[in-house]
Amino acid sequence: MSILLLAIENLSIAAHSDDGERTVLRNVSFTIQTGETLALVGESGSGKSLCAQSIMGLLPKPALKMCRGKILFEGERIDNNLPLLHSLRGKRVAMIFQEPITALNPVQTIGEQLAEVFQLHEPTLHANDIREQSLQLLQEVKVDQPELRLRSFPHQLSGGQCQRIMIAMALAGKPDLLIADEPSTALDASTQHQLLALLQNLQQQRQMAVLFITHDLALVKHWCQRVAVLQNGSLCEIASTETIFSSPQHPYTQSLIAALQPTAHSETKNNQKTVLLEARNISKAFTPPQALLTRRKPAAPVLHDISFSIHEQEILALVGESGCGKSTLGRALLVLDPADSGEIIFQQQILDRNNRQQITAFRQQCQVIFQDTNDSLNPRHTVERILLEPLEIHSIGNPQTRTATVQTLLQRVELPADSLHRFPHEFSGGQRQRIGIARAIALNPKLIVCDEAVSALDVSTQAQIIALLLQLKRDMQLSLLFITHDLHLVQRIADRVLVMQQGRIVEAGNTQQIFENPQHPATQLLLSALF
């Protein structure tokens, strides 16, 4: 029998700034039963993570504060009872985050960090017992080589392994409620599937409730019992998962569900198209850092003899598990991190990376859109400065024509004219990605490499950005190399697909062929993880 575990009643949160106070979360109410999974969905900035931070008492003060409402755990208020909240936090209520590599301490081993959690909850626990329970937890969350991992630092582990470590740390206190804030957004499909299957199994074993914060509605449909939909800080709909997907009532919920539907995309006839870029026998190895007085370690290969081509006006998807070399290959193609061997042929000319003039001309024709706009957009530059920079570097036009070009770019990516004098932090994630797209098309390129360009965006914003990219592709006759782990997106927009595994292209073909009749085990594994 389910028992009411958590109740949020009319929760409102205010943000304080020099301009005064504004409400960012308004009268949000929902409940979670024992053993239940409730999904909290909505666009970036809708207030999903604020709800989680409020429950945990982690709102950054004084910038944000709870100005109205109640939070009750098993019928007792915890929002105004710090001793009770401290006794629950990390023990009966735990949280896992989207970016484990930033949540984990980079200068402590995994064993030290797990020990810290156990010591916090059970100060009298002996060191041998802590080690034994740490190993048991790592085995429970299916971390390979647990003895070795206890001695490892976070940077020595993959994204999937780090997320398993975060789950282990959250489970150390044997929580009744686990808050999972975008726990699988940055992971490839197969790793994502494994982690969610693990969480579901652990939830059933421990009769644990889960508040699942996400923008991936495909995951919600297959895992959660109920869904709460947030928009602009307000709860616009809450219902069973079946009702939300079959009969959404609120217009915003309807738009989210509609964004999941396949978009029409006519396949490029590659046999009628000219090859734009060809990669021949691309290989690359990384030399591990050498410690003082130790023997130099051999270089570790990351790309093995890769060959493929991109045609004019084609969308080519590059997919594969985390760490397979997708982004490394993208950087090698753009000569940002050159390959050790092999050739790149662009418009029938072999690139010589030592020929600065040729490489500069090539980079004008081949641009990139990155995943993390916080890192790729200079926070000290206005949008105008960001968009003027490539025009000035390549000596295109004069000051007057450049200003006109920048204004045209804003119109093309559907940003208001007053964006010019604002800074990146003043925009939402989707708007920042539009700025990144505007910068990429400023030089009228032939090819754009999209490196996980929409993976961090919510489903409705993602649909808008994809629609924009497809429109620009048609208008500017672009080719797109789409590096992604979102196979649903690949199926909807790509003409052809390359599948990577451990630095090799293991399968290539048109999209329909890859999805309907995959040949290689790596492709079959990726597709088996699709919901």
Instruction: Please give the sequence-ordered ranges of beta strands (E in DSSP) within 145-253, or none if there are none.
Output: 177-181, 209-214, 226-231, 234-240
* Calpha distance 412→211 (Å, rounded): 39
pLDDT at 295: 62
Could you tell me which CATH class the domain 4-258 is placed in?
alpha beta
Backbone angles phi, psi at 323, to 5 degrees: 80, 10
| Most confident region among 40-49, 484-493, 512-521 by mean pLDDT | 512-521
Q: Is there a contact between 215 and 457 (Cβ–Cβ < 8 Å)? A: yes
Q: Is there a contact between 16 and 62 (Cβ–Cβ < 8 Å)? A: yes
pLDDT at 266: 46
pLDDT at 313: 94
DSSP sequence for 444-481 = --SEEEEESTTTTS-HHHHHHHHHHHHHHHHHHT-EEE
Domain boundaries, the chain: 4-258, 272-287+300-528
| Most confident region among 203-217, 265-279, 507-521 by mean pLDDT | 507-521
Confidence of residue 486 (pLDDT cuts 50, 70, 90): confident
Residue from 123, 227, 215 nearest 460 by CA = 215
* Calpha distance 194→205 (Å, rounded): 16
**Residue 469 reports pLDDT greater than 70:** yes
Q: Is there a contact between 307 and 257 (Cβ–Cβ < 8 Å)? A: no
pLDDT at 223: 86
Q: Is there a contact between 482 and 490 (Cβ–Cβ < 8 Å)? A: yes
Terminal alpha carbon distance of the chain:
29
Q: Output the six-digit token pair for 372.
A: 């993390």
Q: What is the mean pLDDT of the chain?
A: 89
- Tokens 């915003």 sit at which residue? 252
* Calpha distance 492→261 (Å, rounded): 9
Q: Is there a contact between 41 and 227 (Cβ–Cβ < 8 Å)? A: yes
Fold of 272-287+300-528: Rossmann fold (3.40.50)
**Per-residue pLDDT tens for 99-118?**
777 789 999 999 999 999 99
Q: How many helices (H) and strands (E) does the chain have?
A: 21, 20
In sign, the C-alpha dihedral spanning 260, 266, 271, 273 is negative
Confidence of residue 473 (pLDDT cuts 50, 70, 90): very high
Confidence of residue 173 (pLDDT cuts 50, 70, 90): confident
Q: Output the six-digit token pair for 390.
A: 């490539």
Q: Is the peptide bond prior to 62 cis by the omega test (within 30 degrees of 0)? A: yes
pLDDT at 232: 87
CA-CA distances (angstroms) from residue 127 to 113, 130, 213? 13, 5, 35
**Per-residue pLDDT tens for 280-314?**
999 998 765 555 455 666 667 889 999 999 999 99
pLDDT at 36: 95
- Give the lowest-confidence range in 158-172, 352-366, 389-403, 489-503: 158-172
* Calpha distance 450→494 (Å, rounded): 12
* Calpha distance 109→24 (Å, rounded): 38
**Per-residue pLDDT tens for 130-156?**
999 999 999 988 888 899 899 999 888
**Residue 265 reports pLDDT greater than 70:** no
- Write down the pTM of the prediction: 0.74
Q: How many residues does the chain have?
A: 531
